[in-house]
Structure 1
Amino acid sequence: MNQEITRTGASAQALAAAPALVPAPVRQFTVLLSATRRGARLARRLTVAHLADWGLPYGEAAQIVGELAANAVTHGLVPGRDFRLGLSLGPNGALRIEVTDACGERLPEPASPGGDAVSGRGLLLVSALADRWGVVQGPAPCKTVWAEMARLAPVEPEQGCRDAVERVAVACEVKE
């Protein structure tokens, strides 16, 4: 597995050098992972570890990363190419999750799976859990699927899990 890890904290120099319109992230983590199920699982585990280290709730973010990473290794797979996970925490407390894969010509679209379908609900989950999400194409041949969660406030872990399960259940209701 090729692995590239970047971990930074905000320094006074970085904040001073950043453009006024785009605030520098307070914390940032980036890793290059193999485009396999194992790489997707590792992306989720690394998200949990880093958000816990940053003192933030991680349940919903881990679910988003799990879905985006699974999509990257299932639909964005190019043999011999890895995918990149990026987490950044802005000065306002918003978390941005980015998953970049090497298949820029296949853009994700939320599906409307039937009641018996065993897949196809990943982006519906992302839509339910994230405040915003989208896709940025490039640099060629790549695409980055991103999701943002507004200011993350520490919560009791058990309550956070119940809230996430309720939001996911509402998003995945099958309409007949």
Structure 2
Amino acid sequence: MLCKEDAMTVLPVRVFGDPVLATPAEEVTTFDAQLRRLVRDLTDTLRSEQGAGLAAPQLGVGLRAFVFHVDGVAGHLVNPVLSFPDEQTQDGPEGCLSMPGLYFDTVRRRHVVAKGYTDRGDPVQVVGDGELARCLQHETDHLDGVLFIDRMDTGRRRAAMRAIRDAPWFAGAAPRVKVSPHPLFGRQR
């Protein structure tokens, strides 16, 4: 018998074109049962979608929180701040649950240190490299209203936009893709 706490809550993931995905999320200031419920909903939805990470804006919630599950490492971060211990980069395929079925090569930093809080307000740090580093950067970008196509060079971005327009889930005119407001490896594009 399932008790109320064991029931999964799988919510619809917002897709490319939804304005919430381009809007910076608000910092979490209250660490309460409602935040813990959000983290459970994110976790349940991520598990159902079989993704690597999922940010609150992808569920339509404008708060700085995300969950991740990469290479056996799972967790969540609230109000994350990233730092990079070196200048190494990686270039490889990246996908997004908000652009289902599409993968595009994207340059990211190879190593990252993510500091934030648990859903109870306890400080936490996650050190990642490779795919985990890619995921932590991708999900933090979501909290800043930045999509991974915003990180691409012009040629890759054009190819990605063509694929998005052809995707069966895409419903309408594409919003203007912006160039990321955040420096990419110390320089603006």
What's the TM-score once normalised by structure 2's chain length?
A: 0.26
From the two aligned structures, give the one with the greater helix fraction.
Answer: 1
What's the TM-score once normalised by structure 1's chain length?
A: 0.27
